[in-house]
Amino acid sequence: MADFSNILNEKLKLLKESFREFFAVAGTSEYGYAAFISVCNTTERATVLRGNGDTLEAAWESACMSAIKYVQRNELMPAWVKADITAVFERVNFAELLEQITNSRNEFFRRGISFDGKLQTALIEAEINGNRVITYKQHLIELKKVNKYLAQCGLNTLAEFPEEVVLFDCESRFCDEHNEVYRLYGSGEPNRNNYGRRVISGVDDKTALEVISSSSEYLSMQVALNGKFDYGYYPIFHKEIPGYNIQRHASSIWSLICAYRLTGDKFTLSQIQKAIGFMVRETFKKYPDKPGQDNTVYLADKMLDEVKLGGNALAIIMLTEYMDAVGTDKYARLARELGNGILELFDKRDGSFFHVLNYPSLSPKDKFRTVYYDGEATFALCRLYGLTRDRKWLDAAAMSADRFIREGYEKHRDHWVAYAMNELTKYLPEDRYLSFGLKNANVNLDRIYKQDTTYHTYLELLCVTFELFSRIMEQGLSCSYMEEFRTQRFVETIFHRAEYMLNGYGYPEYVMYLKYPNMSLGAFFVRHDGYRIRIDDIQHFCGAYYSFYRNYDKLQALKCSFNKAD
């Protein structure tokens, strides 16, 4: 019979030592204190053991005793242990609690709740959201659901909700499988949305490489033998996301290729090649083969019986990235043929694209589906010009970019437009394109900085625009918009978003509260959609940090120059 209590005892000693300063200044509280010890073996959702007392010491000892007994009784290996201690309290009426829930995004209520004044029925934020105790979609906290969870925890259930509840913030620490202890952001920190994540001094190139490596490893593991990805799931209860999107398939391969450039991992390359094979099998020709000529080819979304402009575009972007990364021209003809498909959807009169056709008839379906297709297609056309130097691709991309400028596409805050303008200006470094590329970021900086969700595409937009900005500065290009461009705010926003986005990274202190923690470890999730993990979520996060990593030295140099000036 295994006894893991010695392992837990060692971790609890380390955790208590890390709380030394907090224990030293702890006074009395009208509510007393509550301590929470979460233990996780990495494969099953963490169990939260709790203790109460009039003093912090008493609450801590009570929680530790409960945790040790639990580990002994269940023969649980306590690989990950998290400790939370109540620190700040606020008594509110129940109606105010409901109002705060109503005003929160899904899974974004970031405080602990006690349904009594002595913290006997107290739940920490991580278990509330990790077990979906709050019914966010209906803006409710339901008695039946709360009682079910209280009973599961061995706590007294409620006959009815009280008129008042106690909301609380915690001091928190996490001890990993190597006995490394991390201080975690508390829910009372200035930015409450950082709650529960390890405190780091700042995101640097090392941090970026770590998250790229782990998330690309996760994404590689989702590729099946036939080259198709496991599409995604909602990890709170591990519900698979139905359907499949071949566009997201293509873009996810792109992020794996970018990661491969940094890691050189052979397994990743093998998975990339399988996934490309699956995608190629989903392409089809509009016309019969013409000897010696490129055909018109489309990528089919056979789940929806559609051909989408964005599908062809992302396939081109991915294939050109692959050929450059591994030094081959294997897919050059296919890329050109997919480009012909884009040109058939291009209107030379105004630079617009037709978005969706029916499959397999290729009859018109939707003139417009999403603004993202326009940026994707323009980026792809620029990539084809880089591959072939055939002017038809560049001319079409320029006409599309002129439409972006004419119709004020900066209002969409679209990362694909940023990619397109960065690529276009490598070949056409004209003032109007350079200026628009900068404007696309500049007018949106305040909105992006303050965005409360991790919104992974924003960092992509910023870092790709930084590449354009760097080229202007290094090559001395003429750009009239530079006078309006807020360079310092731009760089500050990049570093802020790079750190803030870690609130969507699968650190163990986050994923330990999900149903199968190790299945989400090192991935990226979208908290406000049930911690959703989908292949394109990984793609955008990974792509963002890839761009941040590549530009880190220049970004850091600029940041330091601003600090010295201040």
pLDDT band at 292 (very low <50, low <70, confident <90, very high): low
CATH code, 255:
1.50.10.10
Distance between CA atoms of residues 444 and 441, nearest Å:
5
> Which domain range does residue 366 map to?
205-565
How large is the angle between the packed helices 457-475 and 535-550, nearest 10 degrees? 30
281 and 361 in a single domain? The answer is: yes
How many domains would you assign to the chain?
2
Q: If you ran DSSP here, which 8-state letter would residue 54 be given?
A: S
**Are residues 322 and 288 part of one domain?**
yes
* Section 224-253 average pLDDT: 97
Domain assignment present for residue 200? The answer is no
Mean pLDDT for 366-384 is 98
Do the beta carbons of residue 52 and residue 27 sit within 8 Å?
no
Q: Which whole-number Å values give the CA distances from 175 to 116, 182, 208, 285, in the listed order? A: 30, 6, 22, 56
Q: What is the mean pLDDT of residues 525-547?
A: 97
Does 129 map to a domain?
Answer: yes
> Helix, strand or coil for residue 222?
coil
Q: How confident is the model at residue 260 (pLDDT cuts 50, 70, 90)?
A: very high
Task: Looking at the structure, tell me whether residues 453 and 322 fall in a common domain.
Answer: yes
**Residue finishing a domain among 144, 170, 194:** 194
Quick check: is 323 in a domain? yes
End-to-end CA distance of the chain: 62
Beta bridge partners of 234: 239
In this predicted model, what pLDDT tens digit does every residue of 475-530 receive, in sequence order? 999 999 999 999 999 999 999 999 999 999 999 999 999 999 999 999 999 999 99
Check whether residue 259 and residue 357 sit in a common domain.
Answer: yes
Within this chain, do residues 255 and 183 fall inside the same structural domain, yes or no?
no
Radius of gyration of the chain (CA): 26
Residue 524 in 3-state DSSP? strand
* Domain final residue pick, 155, 170, 194: 194
Encode pLDDT of 97-127 as tens digits.
999 999 999 999 999 999 999 999 999 999 9
- Return mean pLDDT, the chain: 96
243 and 295 together in one domain = yes
Same domain, 168 and 269: no
- Which of 194, 225, 254 is the C-terminal boundary of a domain? 194
- In-domain check, residue 199: no
pLDDT-based confidence at residue 188 (cuts at 50, 70, 90): low
Query: Quick one: 224 and 154 in the same domain?
Result: no
**Residues 368, 460: one domain?**
yes
475 shares a domain with 352: yes
From residue 469, give the alpha-carbon distance in Å to each of 56, 260, 423, 447, 559: 53, 26, 12, 20, 14
pLDDT for res 203? 95
Residues 122 and 263 both lie in one domain:
no
pLDDT the model gives residue 563: 84
Quick one: which H or E segment has residue 164? strand 164-175
Q: Is the pLDDT reported for residue 18 higher than 80?
A: yes
Has residue 350 been placed in a domain? yes
The pLDDT of residue 76 = 96
Residues 335, 382, single domain; the answer is yes
> 153: buried, middle or exposed (CB in 10 Å: 19+, 13-18, 0-12)?
middle
1 pLDDT more than 60: no
